[in-house]
C-alpha cells in the first residue's frame, strides 16, 4: 500500500519529505542544521526538518527567478490544468493529509478534514479563475486615446504562513500566485512544516515545473526573511500571521517597496440580539468559537448578548461546550485537540485567570489538563468586566467570554471597541437590523446569522489592524498582479 493509503494515524509520518524544496529538488540546509517537529497531543518529536539559512533563502529566490519567465509565459489553460490536477490529488489524499495536519498541529480530525477540503478548493477555484483574468479597455474622457489595462504577474512572491491552517493558508496563496503567473517561495510556520512539504509533493506530481514553487523551513525567520525582502527580485509579500509580526514585515518590505498582502490577527465580536433564533445562534457560536479549537483568526473572541436572551444563551452554550470530548487530535472520537504549544496554552490560562480575578465567573471549563499534551478545556465565562484582557487580546483557544449589552447602539459600540477588524458575527431575525448593524461594524467580513465566512470564492480579509488586501475570490487573484496601462489611439 502506498504511504497515502494508511488508516488512521497508523503512519508515523517519518516518510514525509523534510528537506528544503528548491528548484524541484529536495536538499538539506547549507548549514546542515535541523529543527524538531512536535506532536502537540503528546509533546513527542515526530521528525525534524531542514533549517534554512540566508544562503538557502537566496537559492530559493534564484530558483523562482529562473522559472519566472517560462511560467509567466505558460498558457493560462495549461496553468489551470495543473492546478486542477493538484486539487484532484489533494482530494484523493485527503485522509492522509488530515492525519498529518492533526499530527503536527493537534487539531481534531473533523477539523483537519474540513481544512483539507477548504485548502484543495483554492486550487480548483484559481484553476477556474486563472483563465478569466480579463483586462479592460475604455476611451479616455478627452476622447484622445484608448485606455487599455492588462493584468500582469506581479513577480516573485514570498509567501509566509501560520501554523493554525497549515494547508489552507498555503494553498490560499499558492493557488492565486500560480494562476496569475507568478513563481513563489513558501515559508511555512516552524510548528507545521510537514504539511507544506506534502503540498510541494502534490504540486510536483500535478506538473508544476521545477522552481515555480519552492518551500523553505527555518527557525531563523527574522534574518532569512529580512534578507529575502531586501533582494530586489522579490516583488510580492503575502503574509498570514500575527499583527505583531505583520508590522515588522511591512517595515522590512518598505525598503524595496514590495507589494504587500497582510492577513493578520482578529478579535471577532459575536452579537446576539433579543430577537435572534437562539438555537441557530448556539449552532453558529459553536462553529465560530470552536472550529479549529478556537485557534482561528476568525474565531469569535467576544460574545455580546442582549440582556433578554443572556441567560438562555449562556446556559445553552455552556451545555454544548461541556459536552465536547477533549483528547489526542487524531483519535477519531476527539472533538477538541490540544493547543499548538505550551506558551499558547499558558496564554489562554492566564487570560482566563485575569478575567476571573476581575470578577468573571466560570460556567464550565477553566482548566488546563495535566500530563502530556497542551490541552485546555472548552470554557465559558460570564459577567466578564470591560477591562479584562480577554476582551482585548486574541484568545486563540477554546474560551468563550460573554458580556451583556442593552441596545443596538451599545452592541455596535462594544463590537467596534478593538484595533482589529477581521470579521463579526451577528444573530437577529430582523434582516433590516442585521444589514444596518453589518454596515456599522468596522470589519472586512460579516457573518449574518451564520457561524462561518471562509469560502475560496469570497474576498477574505480585514480592516484596521487585521490587515491589508484580500485573499480568495477574484480579489485574491488581483493581489498577485499589477495593472499595466497602455495609452494608445488608432
Task: List contacts with ligand NAD (CB under 6 A).
Answer: 160-165, 169, 187-190, 221-222, 225, 240-242, 245, 248-249, 263-266, 297, 394, 422, 462, 467
Give residue 232's region: left, alpha or beta (phi > 0; psi -120 to 50): alpha
Q: State which residue, 204 or 218, has the beta carbon closest to ligand NAD.
A: 218
Of 298, 391, 380, 294, nearest in space to 345 by CA: 294
Q: State which residue, 249 or 399, has the beta carbon closest to ligand NAD.
A: 249
CA atoms within 13 A on the CB side of 57: 25
Q: State which residue, 215 or 412, has the beta carbon closest to ligand NAD.
A: 215
Catalytic residue among 182, 184, 260, 297: 297
Cα–Cα dist 354/268, whole Å = 20
Residue 184 is among the residues annotated as catalytic for this protein: no
Cα–Cα dist 164/105, whole Å = 7
Cβ pair 18, 200 in contact under 8 A: no
Cα–Cα dist 275/266, whole Å = 27
In the bound complex, what is the minimum distance in angstroms from residue 381's beta carbon to ligand NAD?
20
Name the grid cell of 352. Answer: 482566563
CA geometry: angle 20, 22, 24, nearest 5 deg: 115
Residues with Cβ within 8 Å of residue 126, at least 6 apart in sequence: 83, 175, 176, 178, 179, 476, 477
Q: State which residue, 217 or 314, has the beta carbon closest to ligand NAD.
A: 217
3-state secondary structure of 414: helix
Cα–Cα dist 436/140, whole Å = 38
In the bound complex, what is the minimum distance in angstroms from residue 39's beta carbon to ligand NAD?
17
Q: State which residue, 124 or 291, has the beta carbon closest to ligand NAD.
A: 291
In the bound complex, what is the minimum distance in angstroms from residue 287's beta carbon to ligand NAD?
16
Q: State which residue, 3 or 247, has the beta carbon closest to ligand NAD.
A: 247
Cα–Cα dist 453/77, whole Å = 29
In the bound complex, what is the minimum distance in angstroms from residue 291's beta carbon to ligand NAD?
12
In the bound complex, what is the minimum distance in angstroms from residue 461's beta carbon to ligand NAD?
7
Catalytic residue among 99, 263, 295, 479: 263
User: Which uninterrupted H or E stretch holds 119?
Assistant: helix 109-130
Place of cell 474622457: 141
Cα–Cα dist 36/191, whole Å = 9
In the bound complex, what is the minimum distance in angstroms from residue 277's beta carbon to ligand NAD?
28
Instruction: Give the residue nearest to ligand NAD (CB).
Output: 241
Residue 182 is among the residues annotated as catalytic for this protein: no
Which are the catalytic amino acids?
Answer: 263, 297
Amino acid at each position: 500500500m502506498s504511504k497515502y493509503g494508511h488508516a488512521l494515524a497508523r503512519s508515523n509520518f517519518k516518510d514525509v519529505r523534510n528537506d528544503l524544496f528548491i528548484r524541484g529538488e529536495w536538499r538539506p540546509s547549507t548549514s546542515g542544521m535541523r529543527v524538531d517537529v512536535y506532536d502537540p497531543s503528546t509533546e513527542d518529536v515526530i521528525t525534524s526538518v531542514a533549517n534554512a539559512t540566508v544562503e538557502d533563502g537566496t537559492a530559493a529566490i534564484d530558483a523562482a527567478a529562473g522559472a519566472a519567465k517560462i511560467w509567466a509565459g505558460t498558457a493560462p489553460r495549461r496553468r489551470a490544468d495543473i492546478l486542477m490536477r493538484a486539487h484532484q490529488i489533494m482530494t484523493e489524499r485527503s485522509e492522509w493529509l488530515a492525519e498529518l495536519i492533526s499530527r503536527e498541529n493537534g487539531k481534531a480530525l473533523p477539523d483537519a478534514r474540513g481544512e483539507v477540503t477548504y485548502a484543495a478548493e483554492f486550487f480548483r477555484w484559481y484553476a477556474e479563475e486563472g483563465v478569466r483574468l480579463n483586462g479592460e479597455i475604455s476611451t479616455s474622457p478627452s476622447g484622445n486615446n484608448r485606455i487599455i489595462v492588462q493584468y500582469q504577474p506581479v513577480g516573485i512572491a514570498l509567501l509566509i504562513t501560520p501554523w493554525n491552517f497549515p494547508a489552507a493558508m498555503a494553498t490560499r496563496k499558492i493557488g492565486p500566485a500560480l494562476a496569475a503567473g507568478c513563481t513563489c517561495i513558501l515559508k511555512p510556520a516552524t510548528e507545521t512544516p510537514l504539511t507544506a512539504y506534502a503540498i510541494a509533493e502534490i504540486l510536483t506530481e500535478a506538473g508544476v515545473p521545477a522552481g515555480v514553487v519552492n518551500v523553505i523551513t527555518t527557525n531563523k525567520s527574522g534574518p532569512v526573511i529580512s534578507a529575502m525582502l531586501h533582494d530586489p527580485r522579490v516583488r510580492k509579500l503575502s503574509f498570514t500571521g500575527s499583527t505583531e509580526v505583520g508590522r515588522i514585515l511591512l517595515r522590512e518590505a518598505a525598503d524595496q517597496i514590495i507589494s504587500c498582502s497582510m492577513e493578520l490577527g482578529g478579535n471577532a465580536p459575536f452579537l446576539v440580539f433579543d430577537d435572534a433564533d437562539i438555537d441557530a445562534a448556539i449552532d453558529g457560536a459553536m462553529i465560530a468559537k470552536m472550529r479549529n479549537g478556537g485557534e482561528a483568526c476568525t474565531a469569535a473572541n467576544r460574545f455580546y448578548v442582549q440582556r433578554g436572551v443572556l441567560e438562555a444563551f449562556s446556559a445553552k452554550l455552556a451545555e454544548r461546550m461541556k459536552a465536547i470530548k477533549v483528547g489526542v487530535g487524531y483519535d477519531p472520537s476527539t472533538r477538541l485537540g490540544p493547543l499548538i504549544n505550551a506558551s499558547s496554552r499558558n496564554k489562554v490560562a492566564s487570560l482566563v485567570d485575569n478575567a476571573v480575578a476581575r470578577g468573571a465567573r466560570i460556567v464550565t471549563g477553566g482548566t488546563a489538563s495535566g500530563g502530556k499534551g497542551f490541552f485546555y478545556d472548552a470554557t465559558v465565562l460570564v459577567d466578564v468586566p470591560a477591562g479584562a484582557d480577554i476582551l482585548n487580546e486574541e484568545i486563540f483557544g477554546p474560551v468563550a467570554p460573554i458580556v451583556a449589552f442593552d441596545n443596538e447602539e451599545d452592541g455596535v459600540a462594544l463590537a467596534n471597541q478593538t484595533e482589529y477588524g477581521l470579521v463579526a458575527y451577528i444573530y437577529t431575525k430582523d434582516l433590516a437590523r442585521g444589514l444596518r448593524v453589518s454596515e456599522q461594524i468596522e470589519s472586512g467580513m460579516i457573518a449574518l446569522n451564520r457561524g462561518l465566512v471562509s469560502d475560496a470564492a469570497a474576498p477574505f480579509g480585514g480592516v484596521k489592524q487585521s490587515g491589508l488586501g484580500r485573499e480568495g475570490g477574484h480579489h485574491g487573484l488581483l493581489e498577485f498582479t499589477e495593472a499595466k496601462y497602455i495609452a494608445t489611439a488608432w
